[in-house]
Structure 1
Amino acid sequence: MMLNARGLGGAAVAGAGLAAGAVWLWRNQGVVATGRPVNEWTFTHMSALMPTDTVPRSPRPRPFVRRVRTLECSYEFDGRRRTLEDLHRRTHTTGFAVVHRGVLVHESYPGRFASPGARFQLFSLTKSVTSMLVGIALEEGALSLDDQAVSHLPELAGSAYDGATVGHLLDMCSGAGGVEDYTDPDAPIGRFERAVTGGGSVLDVLRSLPRAAEPGTAFNYSTLDTQVLGQVLEAATGTPLARYAARRLWEPVGAESDAYYFLTRGRPRTALGGGSFNATVRDLARLGVLMAHGGIWDGRRVVPAAWAERSRGAGLPHLEVGALGGGLPAHYGYANQWWTLGGEHRAFTGLGIHGQFLWVDPVADVVVVKTSAWPTADDPERDAETVAALTALTARLAQDG
């Protein structure tokens, strides 16, 4: 009996330990899933972890014309001349594609779980996709830049979003919330992530934000602004984001593969307009080409020309390159849910945490997709190195003609 008691006691202790471990893992799932090396798997397998809504591939897929070649390009960073191989190694590239003048000229997949068919979690690069959808909805008359967010989402009446317009949300000037700090678990973005993954109420998080500034007066990068924008779009069109993206983007550009949004665990399940889109590198490159060509794909107008132009810079002083403040890199400005780069070419890029880039230079007619698995959400050094490399690559391709 003594041995049996000890055995039962040991089993109880082991069971308690497993239970405690499971609770810890549930509460810290975001930290585990986004840290290296686990994140290389996570960022290509979000559909195994969260509920999803599919964006079906085009019924008439149109593959890129391919003239793939080795890119002879180097860049200067931190006092040293480096190669694209250095970039991939130093910044944990998982997928990389380059399109020049509508032709796929380079494609590689250094990531452990990466491939042409892998669908990559794009994080805040999703915001740029949402922007394109909003531009289409504006052209169709479903929305206006002057629409109040609460006119479409009355549940936000009386919150910090009361008074913010669609235009304010697009330019991250709603006046709601504070600094988006992924290292602070009590920051709005931390509470938002826990609501998304833990089954909590996203609406409660949105309603809890303080008013930090009058709408339209100050830039404050906020994923929650784009969450509101995505929900406004769904309410105005009466269509879930995945279905609207399928009809207005994926079908017109001839996407080869299904994409998807992951959804909140809590009900009503909701796509994240600011961060839950997953797609292949090639299909993401199609969106870049679409924007580089002023909203036209294969002779068909998909995104309004004025919308594509506005995404290169809104002409607002507080959104110009170097004027964003808040510790953000001085090489970026902001407009229309895109990061602007200024200069003669007025290039721009979609960005996502952990190193996701959709680089668009309309003058050089160059699009670069870079997916990555950085060990931290934000990394100024890796960001600066990537910008240096992609700037040099674009210049080289423009020079080659």
Structure 2
Amino acid sequence: MAGDRTWAVGAGVVTATAAAAAGVRWMWRHQDALMLRPPLNEWTFTHMSSLLPSERVPRAARPSVLPRAPRALDLTYAWDGATHTLSDLHVRTRTTGFAVLHRGQLVHEAYPGRFAAPHRRFQLFSLTKSVTSALLGIALEDGAIGSTDDKVVAYCPHLAGSAFDGPSIEDLLHMTSGAGGTEDYEDPDSPVNRLMRAVTGQRGTVLEAVRSVLPHSRPGTRFNYSTIDTQVLGWVLEAATGRTLAQYAAERLWGPIGAESDAYYALSRGLPRTAVGGGSFNATVRDLARFGLLMARGGQWHGTQVVPRWWVERSHGAGLPHLEVGALGEGHPTGYGYSNQWWTLGGPHRAFTGLGIYGQFLWIDPVADVVVVKTSAWPVADDPALDGETATALTALVTHLAADG
């Protein structure tokens, strides 16, 4: 009997151990979903450096001052048959951090997120693309990159024979590379999810994920939003400058605008480590507001031209019919156009915005002289209703500030 009991206990331990191991394997295979969905994503989006390797973008030696002029923002907006306040927006669209600049002054700042604070760095997802664009403009002005007409493989010969052997830098900047598939975050085999599995070390390398995409159209003719396009642009920038994205951002952007906090790029787990130029930049709300103010002022910061003015002008709109607001095609939002790794808003103000999945916004209206930063923790990557409500509210906010003087 004692032997039977010993066998039973041993079998139970083995079963429990096997179950635990199976649980660990399940968590490893599904780590993306676990990290990116409620209730964990609000923590994840402010602690990405605890989950992936990272490279620091040091704050400026002399941080710039953001003048503060706090004021009540008593505005409302209409959505879904009802009238809502700014406080309602934060609850309804899961805002974690929020800042508003008007005429260069910080007029409003709030951190509704449970783990949010002025010093917290927020995962900005595809808003990273707009940072990459600014860095490319600087590299072009410096002469490190010859022209946007240069072919990608001139800087990235390791992409020879892939779908990126043919497209130009210009093609990738406007998301018209002709390479890749639909950016579908729910499809486990979509190019963006293959890229993310490579970054998190679950399957293959980042280079393999990039080379796996197929051509679908002639470069320069069709808009197809693709994080892999920007991943390649990041590699072009690193090859041309001899710097990592983090190093170049520190030297040519974060330092010059007087960032008050370190930022960082999350890196792939596997070697060689690589930053995701289309989705891994993490920064504070205030420093992102500084970046927005730089773009609102034509790339100039306190008299110094940091980003070329002509490059900022490109970011307001490409002037190409297939990239105008409402013309991006089936499956893409009707309220936006696209240019130079920015979403354009059209209209007389030619406002534009950086966007990231799960509700990250950098809304810039140069004519109204308004910059709005909104970080969020949406329950899903892409939600047209949440995006539409946020765009409506931010448009109302800009109108309110412009009318209020």
* Alignment TM-score > 0.5, same fold: yes
The 5 Å alignment of 1:48-87 reads: 48-87=50-89
Looking at structure 2, the residues matched to 88 and 355 of structure 1 have their Cα atoms a distance apart, in angstroms, of 11
Q: Counterpart of 1:369 in 2: which secondary structure?
A: strand
**CA RMSD of superposed structures (Å):** 0.7
Deviation at 1:180, TM superposition (A): 0.6
Partner of 1:15: 17
Instruction: Trace 1:171-210 onto structure 2 (pairs within 5 A).
Output: 171-198=174-201, 200-210=204-214
Give the count of matched residue pairs.
401
CA distance in 1 between counterparts of 2:120 and 2:27 reads 26
Q: Deviations over 1:331-388 (max 9, x none)?
A: 1000000000001101000000000000000000000000000000000000000000
Q: Does 1:348 align with 2:389?
A: no
The answer to whether the aligner puts 1:312 opposite 2:316 as a matched pair is yes
Aligned residue for 1:41? 43
Q: Choose which of 191, 206, 219 in structure 1 pairs with 2:223.
A: 219
Q: Choose from 289, 295, 317 the match for 1:291.
A: 295
**What do residues 223-256 of structure 1 show as CA deviations (whole Å, max 9, x unaligned)?**
0000000001000111000000001111000000
> How far apart are the structure 2 equivalents of 1:76 and 1:160?
45
- The match for 2:5 is 3
Taking the TM superposition and a 5 Å limit, the aligned residue runs for 1:126-205 are 126-143=128-145, 144-198=147-201, 200-205=204-209
Alignment partner, residue 365 of structure 2: 361
Q: Where do 5+ consecutive residues of structure 1 fail to align?
A: none
Deviation, 1:311, is: 0.2
CA drift of 1:3 comes to: 1.8
TM-score, normalised by the number of residues in structure 1: 0.99
**For residue 105 of structure 2, what is the aligned residue in structure 1?**
103
Aligned twin of 1:323: 327
C-alpha separation between the residues in 2 aligned to 1:150 and 1:327? 29
Shift of 1:148: 0.6
- For normalisation by structure 2, the TM-score amounts to 0.98
Counterparts of 1:269 and 1:327, CA distance in 2: 33
User: Gaps (5+ residues) in structure 2?
Assistant: none
**Aligned residue number for residue 267 of structure 2:** 263
Matches within 5 A, 1:105-120: 105-120=107-122
Offset of 1:326 from its aligned partner?
2.6
1:116-171 CA-partner distances (Å, limit 9, x unpaired): 00000000000000000000001001111011100111111111111111111100
In the alignment, residue 105 of structure 1 is paired with which amino acid?
V
| 2:126 pairs with 1:124 | yes
Q: CA deviation at 1:93?
A: 0.2
Partner residue in 1 for 2:250: 246
| Separation of aligned partners in 1, 2:73 and 2:4 | 72
SS of aligned partner of 1:371: strand
Question: In structure 2, what is the Cα distance between the partners aligned to 1:207 and 1:46?
Answer: 26
Q: d(CA) in 1 for partners of 2:333 and 2:52?
A: 32
- The Cα shift of 1:98 comes to 0.1
